[in-house]
Structure 1
Amino acid sequence: MSKITKKIINSPESCVDDNLRGVVALYPSLKLHPKHRTITIRQDADSKRVAVLGGGGSGHEPFAAGLIGAGMLDGAVAGGVFASPPTGHVLYGIKHLYKNNSGGVLVLLGNYTGDRLNFGKAIEKAKIAGIKVEGMIVGEDVASSQNKTGGRSMCGEVFFYKLCGGLSMKGYDLQAIREMAVEANKNMATLGVCLTACSLPGQPPLFEIASDEMEIGAGVHGEAGIEKRKIGTAKEIVALILDQVTAHLKLKAGARVAVMVNNMGGTSIMEMNIIAAETKDYLDKNRIRAERIFCGHLKTSLEMQGFQICLLHLNDVHGKLWLELLDLPTDALGWTGGIMTIRPEKEGEHSDDVDLQTDGLKMDFGHPLSKIEQNITRKSLQAAADELVKNEDLLNKLDSGCGDGDCGITLKKFAEAVKSYLRTASLEHASKILWDLSEIAETDMGGTSGGIYSLGLAAASQALASEETNDRNAWLTAWKNAMQAISKYGGAESGDRTMLDTLHIAAQTFNQTINSDFKEMLFKIIEASENGAKSTANMVARAGRASYVASGYVRDEDAGARAAAIWIKAVLNTIANNV
C-alpha cells in the first residue's frame, strides 16, 4: 500500500484557503474574497474595458491567482485541489468584476467537464441577470485532441490570459477579444511528460510509475498519460514531444512560434534550462523560428516531476499582433513579477458584497401538486437519498478506476442535503422542488457531479414551469430537457460511457410505454435504467474524465451511470408502491 506523501500544510481541508491567504500576504495589491475563494485586483472605479476572469482547480499554482495583474487576468476563482470551483463562486467573480468593468467580462475556462458545467452555468446565470459576459473554452492538448469535446486545456491557457488581457488593455471590445481567442486556440498545441505522479494533500501518489519509465500525455490533474515509455535523454524526450506538437499544428520550415516550457511542479531549474535549450535546438534544426521562449512554473500539477511544451503558431494573419500582446508589460507575479509587490499607501476597506441573493431568474412554478402527490414526492426523494447513502462504497469503487474515487462521497453529500431539505420544504410545486434540488446540487455536491446534476435539474425545473399539468408528457419533456442541458455543457451523449447512458435508455422506454399501464411503465423504466448502467461496462469512454486516461484504467460500470440507475429505481419503486 502506498504511503501518504508528506506535505508542509496545516490540513488537507484548509490548504486551498491557506494558499490563497499566502498569495495576498505576499502581494497585497491583490484582494482576497475568502467566502468565494476569489482573488481580484483592487479596483474602485469603472475601467470601461473588458475584464478577464480565469480559474479552475487548485494545485496548479501560480495558475490562476498568480497571473492576475494589469495586462493579464483581472480575477481568478479557485476550486478545491484539482476540482472545479462551484457555480456560485464563479458567478460571484463575474458579478464582482462587472461592477467596475462595464465593457463586460470574458471568462476563460479549461476544457474539463467540471469546469464546462460549473463555469457554463455561472455564465448562463449571469446573462439571465443582465450581465455582459462571454465564455471561452480553452483546449490545446495533443494527447486528448481526439476526444469528442476536444483536447484538454494545459499550460496554453496561460497564453490566453496574456493575449486576452493585452487586448483588453488596448481597448478591444468583448466580442473582438473572444473571436481572437477562438482563433488563437486553433493555432496552439501542448504535449507533456511526467516521471513521477503527484499526490493530493493527505493522500498517496495518484498512480504508479517505474523508476525507469515516463508517462506521455500526462494531464495537469494528476491523471496518468496515454502511454508509458522508457525514459530517455532530454534531447530524445523533447524531440518526442515536438515531433507530435509540430505535426499537430502542421508547422513547416519558416514558421514562427512562441514557446512555453511549463514546469509541472517538481522539475529542477537545471532540468528546465536543459529542456529549454533542447527545445530551441530542435526548432532551429527544423527551421522553425522561436520568437519567444517562456519557461518556468506556469500551470503546475502539485509536485509532479515533468514538463510540457506549448507552441503558439505566430501565423501570417495574426502573428504580429499576438507577439505584440505577449511583449506588453504586465505586473502579474507569475509571469514576470514586478511592482505588484509594492504595498499601497491606502489599501482602503471596501465592501466585497455582491448581491447573490437573486440570480435574475424569474419563473412561474407551474401546475401545483396535490396533497397525495406531495406525500409521494417526499417519500420518493427520501428513498432515493437513502439508497445513494447506502451505495457510497460501491460508487467510490466504480469511480476509482478512472476518476478520483469520490463519486459515492459526492452523491452522499447531495443525499444528506436532500434529507435535510425534506424536513422543512414545501413540496407544492414540482418545478420549485427541482429548482431547489438544483441549487442543493450546486452548493453541496461540488465538482463535476454537482455541475451535472445542477444543470440537469434546473433545465427540468424550467420545463415543468411552462407546463399546465404534471402528467406523464410533462415529466417526459422535463427529462429530455435535463439530458439536453447536460449534453450542452458536459459534451457527452448516449454511448459515451456517462450517466446519460442510463438516462437516455430510460427516457426512450418512458416514451415508448407512455400510454401503457402506469405501474407497468414504471417497472419497464427501472429495467431500462438498470440495463443502461450495465451497458457502460463494455463502452469506450469518449467524454468525461475517464476519456482522458488509457483504456486499461477504465473497468466495470461507469459510476455516474450506476448512481442514476440507483435513484431512478428508488424513486419509481416508491411511486409504484404508493399509487
Structure 2
Amino acid sequence: MTSSQPITKKVINSPETCVDDNLRGVVTLFPKLQLHPKHRVVTVRRKNDSGRVAILSGGGSGHEPFAAGFVGAGMLDGAVAGGVFASPPTGNVLYAIAHLYKYNSGGVLVLLGNYTGDRLNFGKAFEKAKSAGIKVDGYIVGEDVASCQNKTGGRGMCGEVLLFKMCGAMAEKGYDMDAILNMVEIIHKNMATLGVCLTSCSLPGQPPLFNILPDEMELGAGVHGEAGIEKLKMKTAKEIVALILDKVIARRNIEAEDRVVAMINNMGGTSLMEMNIIAAEIKDYLNEKQIKLERIYSGHYKTSLEMHGFQICLLRLPEENKKLFLELLDAPTEVGVWSGGVLSKRREGEHVDDDTLLQSVKRKADSGPVLPPNDQKMLRDSLQAAATELIKNEELLNKLDSGCGDGDCGITLKNFGKAILKYLESASFEYPANVLWDLSEIAETDMGGTSGGIYSLGLSAASQALATSTTNDRKTWLKALKGGMKAIMTYGGAEPGDRTMLDTLHAVMEVFQETLEVDIITLLVRINEAAQKGAENTAKMEARAGRASYVSSEHLQGEDAGARGVAIWLEAALSTVTGHH
C-alpha cells in the first residue's frame, strides 16, 4: 500500500549508497581508523599482534554513531555495518572477526543486540569462525524494559555502549576472554533501559513509519523505528523522566543508597536543550529517592535515525564491583564520537580489504555419503520443483506476512527460488552435504532478511550432519533435519509452538521419526500431511518469538508465512521424490 505522506527530505546522495557514504565520512573525520569498504567494516589500524582480546560489535545502520563511531583505543576494535535497520550479512561479520583475530591473538569478543537477524547472522559467523580455529565468543545484549517479557528477552538498546566502554577498557588492561565475559554478565544483570518518542523516523527515500498526534507520545519506542508499547498523552519533562525511571528502577530492584550510572540516549531528533533538561530531572529524581548518581552521560549513542525521543539507561553499581566499574568507565579512550582528538590526525594509506582472510574459513568439501546417478537426478528435480513452487507463491506468502512484518516473506523466498534455479544449471549432486552447504550460502547471499539467516543456519547445520555420516539412508536425513532445527532454535531463540517455520519442521520431524520403517510412499505421504497440518496450526497460535511477537495479536491473521513457505516447498519436493519411485 502506498503511503499518502510525502517522502522525508534527507541530505544524502541516494538511499542505495547512504550506508557506504556514511562509513566513508567516518574515516574521513577520523583517518586513524581503517575502512574495509566491500564488507562495511571499520577497524583500528594495526600492523602487529596486540596479544589481547579484541572487542567487536555492529548491526544495522541508522543508529549512528553506533557502532563505527565507537571504534578506537579503549572501546571497540572494530564494527560491522548492515543496511539501514538491517543486520549485516554473515560474510561481513566473519570478515570482521577474521581481521581482528589476525591482529589480536587473545580472541574476539562480539557484543550484539538481541534482534533475530543479528542473532542468526552473527551466530552463523561464530560457527564458521570456530570451525576455522578462530577464538571467538559472543554476548547478546538485551536490556530494554519495554520488551523484557518477550520469550527471547529484551531488545538491545543504548546500554550496549556502556558495555563497549567497559569491555574495551578491560581488553586494554589485558583481561582474558573469560574474565571479560564474566564481567559482562554482571554488568548486563544490573542494567536497564526505557525510552519515549514524540515523532517517528523515516527510512531514506521513504515517508514517516507511523504517526503520533501532537498531544501524544509513545512509551517503549525501539531503535529500529518501532512505535512504543503504550500511547500516552504528552507530559512535562519531569513527569516523563519519573515515568521512565519508575519502571527502570523496578526492573533492576534499585533502592535507596544504591549507586548508579545514568546514560541519556538521544534517539536522533531531540535538541540539546531538551537533553540538558532531562539530565537535570534525572538528577533531581534520583536525589529524591536517595539513589546516588555517580556518573551521567548524555548524547547521541544509538539513534533511530531522526526520531524525536530519548532513552534512559541506568547501571546499578554492585558494592563488590563499584570501584572496578567506575575505573572502566573513567579509563581513557580515543573513540571518535567526540570532536577532535588523536584520531583526527591526518594519515596516509588506502582503504582496502584483505581478500585473503576468508579463504581460510571455507568448509572442507567432498565429505559424507555419495549419491548414485539416479538419486542425484532425484535430488536435482526435487530442488527444481521446490524452487519453482516458491516463486509461484510469492503473493500468498507476502499477504500472510503483511500483518506482522513488512510483507516480504514471499519476496525473500522467491529470491531463494530464483537463485536455486540458477544454481541447478551447473551444480554437482554427487555429495548431498555439499549441496546443502551450497544452498546455505545461497540463502545467506541471495535471500536477505531474517528468513535468509534462518534458512542459511538450518541448511549449514544439516550439511554438517550429512558430512559426518557414512550412509545415505532415512536415519541420516532425519539426523540432518534435527541438526538444522537445533541450529535454528539455538541462534533464532524460537521453539516449536512459537508460531514460526519451526512448527512445520517439528511436525515433519515427529512423523518422520515415528514412521521411519514404513514403505517409502507411505512415509512421503505422511510427512507431507504433517507439514500441511503444522503450517495450518500456526493460525491458532500466539506469536512468542520473532517479529510477530512484537505486534498485537489482532494483526496476526491466518497462518504464519514462514511455516506455510516450508510446507509449500516441501510438498513440491516430496511429490517429485514420489514420482521417482
Alignment of 1:224-303 (within 5 A): 224-303=227-306
- The answer to whether residue 243 in structure 2 is matched with residue 220 in structure 1 is no
Q: 2:563 aligns with which of 561, 564, 568?
A: 561
**Distance in structure 2 (CA, Å) of the matches to 1:154 and 1:350:** 31
State the Cα deviation string for residues 122-174 of structure 1 (Å, max 9, x = none): 11211111112111111111111112221111010011100000001111111
**Distance in structure 2 (CA, Å) of the matches to 1:499 and 1:349:** 41
- Structure 2 CA distance for partners of 1:310 and 1:382, relative to 1, 3 Å: same
- The answer to whether residue 98 in structure 2 is matched with residue 64 in structure 1 is no
**Distance in structure 2 (CA, Å) of the matches to 1:429 and 1:6:** 52
State the Cα deviation string for residues 281-327 of structure 1 (Å, max 9, x = none): 11111111111111111001111111111011111021211111111
- Structure 2 CA distance for partners of 1:165 and 1:282, relative to 1, 3 Å: same
CA contact (8 A) 1:92 1:354 kept: no
Q: C-alpha displacement at 1:349, in angstroms?
A: 7.5
- Structure 2 CA distance for partners of 1:192 and 1:383, relative to 1, 3 Å: same
Q: 1:119 aligns with which of 122, 132, 157?
A: 122
CA contact (8 A) 2:365 2:434 kept: no
| Partner SS, residue 11 of structure 1 | coil
Alignment of 1:488-567 (within 5 A): 488-567=490-569
Partner AA of 1:101 in structure 2:
N
Deviates further, 387-396 or 451-460: 387-396
Q: 2:355 aligns with which of 353, 356, 365?
A: 353
| Partner SS, residue 411 of structure 1 | helix
Deviates further, 542-551 or 60-69: 542-551
- Structure 2 CA distance for partners of 1:2 and 1:527, relative to 1, 3 Å: farther
Q: C-alpha displacement at 1:403, in angstroms?
A: 2.0
Residue 8 of structure 1 corresponds to which residue in structure 2? 11
| Partner SS, residue 424 of structure 1 | coil
State the Cα deviation string for residues 21-50 of structure 1 (Å, max 9, x = none): 111122211111011110011111221211
CA contact (8 A) 1:496 1:540 kept: yes
Residue 389 of structure 1 corresponds to which residue in structure 2? 391
Residue 451 of structure 2 corresponds to which residue in structure 1? 449
**Distance in structure 2 (CA, Å) of the matches to 1:279 and 1:362:** 56
Residue 417 of structure 1 corresponds to which residue in structure 2? 419
Q: C-alpha displacement at 1:87, in angstroms?
A: 1.0
Residue 572 of structure 1 corresponds to which residue in structure 2? 574
Q: 2:87 aligns with which of 77, 84, 88?
A: 84
**Distance in structure 2 (CA, Å) of the matches to 1:335 and 1:20:** 16
- The answer to whether residue 44 in structure 2 is matched with residue 44 in structure 1 is no
**Distance in structure 1 (CA, Å) of the matches to 2:329 and 2:276:** 21
**Distance in structure 1 (CA, Å) of the matches to 2:469 and 2:135:** 30
Q: C-alpha displacement at 1:360, in angstroms?
A: 5.4
State the Cα deviation string for residues 241-275 of structure 1 (Å, max 9, x = none): 11110000000001111111101111222222222
**Distance in structure 2 (CA, Å) of the matches to 1:407 and 1:381:** 19
- Structure 2 CA distance for partners of 1:552 and 1:323, relative to 1, 3 Å: farther
Deviates further, 185-194 or 123-132: 123-132
| Partner SS, residue 577 of structure 1 | helix
TM-score norm. by structure 1 comes to 0.96
CA contact (8 A) 1:192 1:306 kept: yes
- The answer to whether residue 38 in structure 2 is matched with residue 35 in structure 1 is yes
Q: Tell me how large the CA RMSD over aligned residues is.
A: 1.7
- The answer to whether residue 407 in structure 2 is matched with residue 405 in structure 1 is yes
**Distance in structure 2 (CA, Å) of the matches to 1:265 and 1:319:** 31
Deviates further, 76-85 or 532-541: 532-541
CA contact (8 A) 2:37 2:351 kept: no
Q: 2:440 aligns with which of 435, 438, 450?
A: 438
- Structure 2 CA distance for partners of 1:87 and 1:118, relative to 1, 3 Å: same
Q: C-alpha displacement at 1:512, in angstroms?
A: 2.2
| Partner SS, residue 93 of structure 1 | helix
- Structure 2 CA distance for partners of 1:363 and 1:153, relative to 1, 3 Å: same
**Distance in structure 2 (CA, Å) of the matches to 1:85 and 1:246:** 33
Deviates further, 320-329 or 249-258: 320-329
Residue 199 of structure 2 corresponds to which residue in structure 1? 196
- The answer to whether residue 85 in structure 2 is matched with residue 94 in structure 1 is no
CA contact (8 A) 1:44 1:100 kept: yes
Residue 138 of structure 2 corresponds to which residue in structure 1? 135
Residue 369 of structure 2 corresponds to which residue in structure 1? 367
CA contact (8 A) 1:86 1:447 kept: no
CA contact (8 A) 1:225 1:550 kept: no
CA contact (8 A) 1:110 1:139 kept: yes
State the Cα deviation string for residues 165-211 of structure 1 (Å, max 9, x = none): 00011111111111111111101001111122222222232234333
State the Cα deviation string for residues 71-130 of structure 1 (Å, max 9, x = none): 000100001111111111111101111111111111111111111111111112111111
Q: 1:477 aligns with which of 476, 479, 491?
A: 479
Q: C-alpha displacement at 1:477, in angstroms?
A: 1.3
Residue 151 of structure 1 corresponds to which residue in structure 2? 154
**Distance in structure 1 (CA, Å) of the matches to 2:300 and 2:507:** 46
Partner AA of 2:227 in structure 1:
A
Deviates further, 412-421 or 484-493: 412-421
Alignment of 1:97-108 (within 5 A): 97-108=100-111
Q: C-alpha displacement at 1:401, in angstroms?
A: 2.2
Q: 2:316 aligns with which of 313, 318, 332?
A: 313
CA contact (8 A) 1:112 1:152 kept: yes
Q: C-alpha displacement at 1:68, in angstroms?
A: 0.6
- Structure 2 CA distance for partners of 1:551 and 1:196, relative to 1, 3 Å: farther
Percent identity, please: 67
**Distance in structure 2 (CA, Å) of the matches to 1:55 and 1:20:** 13
- Structure 2 CA distance for partners of 1:349 and 1:457, relative to 1, 3 Å: closer
Q: Which runs of 5+ in 2 are unaligned?
A: none
Q: 1:170 aligns with which of 160, 173, 185?
A: 173
Q: Which runs of 5+ in 1 are unaligned?
A: none
CA contact (8 A) 1:85 1:446 kept: no
Q: C-alpha displacement at 1:435, in angstroms?
A: 0.8
Q: C-alpha displacement at 1:578, in angstroms?
A: 2.7
TM-score norm. by structure 2 comes to 0.96
CA contact (8 A) 2:23 2:40 kept: yes
**Distance in structure 2 (CA, Å) of the matches to 1:394 and 1:6:** 34
